[in-house]
Amino acid sequence: MKRNMIFTLLAFLCFLLQSTLLKKISFGGITPNLMVILISSVGFMKGRKAGLTIGFFCGILQDIFFGDVIGFYSLLYLYIGFGNGIFRKYFYPEDIRMPIALIAISDFTYSLLCYILQFLLNAKFNFGFYLKDIILPQMVYTIIVTIAVYPLILMLHKKLETQEKRSEKKFV
Amino acid sequence: MSPIIKRKGEKFTIPSKYLLLILTILCCILMVITFTTNLFRGPLNALAGYIVVPFQEGITNVAGWMGDRTDELEQLREVLKINQELQDKVDALTIENTKLQQEKYELNYLRELFELYDNYEQYEKTGARVIARESGNWYHSFTINKGYDDGLRLDNNVLAGGGLVGRITNIGPNWATVTSIIDDDANVSGMILATSDNLIVSGDLQLMSTGNIRFQQLVDSSNKVVAGDKVVTSMISDKYLPGILIGYISSIEKDSNNLTKSGYLTPLVDFEHVEEVLVILENKEIGGE
């Protein structure tokens, strides 16, 4: 319960920061995708269900404010959260390579799907431009931000984990 | 990780596969509903407005304030130097001003002839601040801090610095989302001020960083349109009020069909740094609603 509340607040915070502060510190008009970092981390830390729930929540927020159709971004983030959840069994807190790889892949997939569903189907075939100017810069920027943000999420995760274990012991 | 295993202490759990399926179906239903009706926009927008907008406003204010302070320190030295130069310029400009005053009378007369007399200065407008921008990198829209409680409506035209920014595409009680004309989805019907030839201005993500917008389908049979001509919103646009300045033509070339022309125009508004906007409270009246 506490975990859910904390992650809901975190998702909320990510959305706020992404639409305000991060827009001010963007490089060349490209902003990192904080929400993918959060969704993907929650996914491989807590499993499929937590991942898809937080994905859905983040997506809905983005849909309401900036989406044409409600449900589009929710669907994308939903599957990103679920997909990352599959990798929970390979997750070790000490290892930072796998999280970064997963977040990078998630961000790339997200952008690619955005391109295919919103631009390619709109007869914009210049994939090279979109890859070079939007998808890759966004991925690189997201990875850089991940290196700064990921330890914080991990710390929070560990803290919650120990607390939950303690309360579980009480029940037994 | 079999979904059947339940942890102790949890009373009821849905396996993640089913939850995924349920939410997927829910999303699809939501998409279909928003495509066909307007059912969700009202209540969802209202709810989001009360929860999210105050925070966005706060963060933008703080970030803006801090940015301003750092800028001020940086600029102070520069400003002192520039001040000196400007002083000299003032003298030169005073002379020029007298000259221009005379030309203004001529302009007023020409304007009357041109029937552009009632341009957009007469519309009722309200100011608003930009509090958030589109969170991804694909589109160019932003949120402003006024909504239908302040008298704004869907499709209200939005200006900044005298030029067209876009129109309201989504609205809540205390916020509204403005889709700008450089957005990849946006198409504006415009016309050349000098010749009244119509054209279509379409936003393009590929051109966003260059600061230009593409225009096309300009029928200019008399070959009068040249780079530098003013482009305003046309009379036949169904969302935009006529006569709002969009920008200036920067390059123009003939299409391969030899009938129409296309090219690029430089918008009047600096879309990267839009912070305050003016919203025109009137919508264009079109028959046959």
Tell me, what's the ipTM? 0.80
Chain A nearest-CA residue for B28: A71
d(CA A65, CA A105): 26
Angle CA(A50)–CA(A51)–CA(A57) in degrees, nearest 5?
Answer: 90
**Structural domain for B83, as ranges:** 63-117
Q: How confident is the model at residue B117 (pLDDT cuts 50, 70, 90)?
A: very low
The strand pair at B141-144 and B176-180 is best described as antiparallel
**Residue B188 lies inside a defined structural domain of this protein:** yes
Cα→Cα distances B263→B212, B223, B227, B248, B250, Å: 10, 14, 10, 11, 8
Dist. CA B144–CA B276, nearest whole Å: 9
Put simply, the answer to whether A66 touches B23 (Cβ < 8 Å) is no
Return d(Cα B218, Cα B226) in angstroms, integer: 12
> Do the beta carbons of residue B235 and residue B191 sit within 8 Å?
yes
In this prediction, residue B3 carries a pLDDT of 53
**Last residue of one domain, picked from the residues B99, B117, B135:** B117
CB contact under 8 A, A88 and B20: no
- Cβ-contact A63, B28 below 8 angstroms: no
Per-residue pLDDT tens over the stretch A53-103:
999 989 988 888 887 788 889 999 999 999 999 999 989 888 888 999 999
- When pLDDT is cut at 50, 70 and 90, the band that residue B118 belongs to is low
What is the distance between the alpha carbons of residues A134 and A115, in angstroms, rounded to a whole number?
10
B30: in domain: no
- Across the A:B interface, residue pairs with CB atoms under 8 Å apart total 137
Q: Domain boundary residue among B81, B97, B117? A: B117
Q: Is the pTM of this model over 0.90?
A: no
Q: What is the pLDDT of residues A97-136, one digit of tens each?
A: 899 999 999 999 999 999 998 888 878 888 888 888 889 9
To the nearest whole angstrom, how far is the Cα of A146 from the nearest Cα of chain B?
A: 16
Split into its structural domains, chain A has a count of: 1
- Say which range, A118-132, B95-109, B228-242, B270-284, has the weakest mean pLDDT: B95-109
Q: How confident is the model over B15-31, as pLDDT tens digits?
A: 888 888 998 999 898 88
**B94 and B132 housed in the same domain:** no
A13, A128, B130, B193, B261 from B224: Cα distances, Å: 54, 37, 39, 12, 12
User: Cβ contact (<8 Å) for A66 and B16?
Assistant: no
B69 contacts on A by Cβ (under 8 Å): none
Q: How many domains does chain B have?
A: 2
- Beta carbons of A168 and B9 less than 8 Å apart: yes
Structural domain for A80, as ranges? 2-89+96-166
Distance from CA of B24 to the nearest CA of A (A): 6
Q: What percent of chain B has pLDDT over 90?
A: 6
Chain B residues whose beta carbon lies within 8 Å of the beta carbon of residue A18: 135
Shortest CA distance from A122: residue in chain B: B185
Residue A171 located in a structural domain: no
Pair (B113, B128) in one structural domain: no
The DSSP H or E segment spanning B62 is helix B41-114
How far A97 CA lies from chain B's nearest CA (Å)?
23
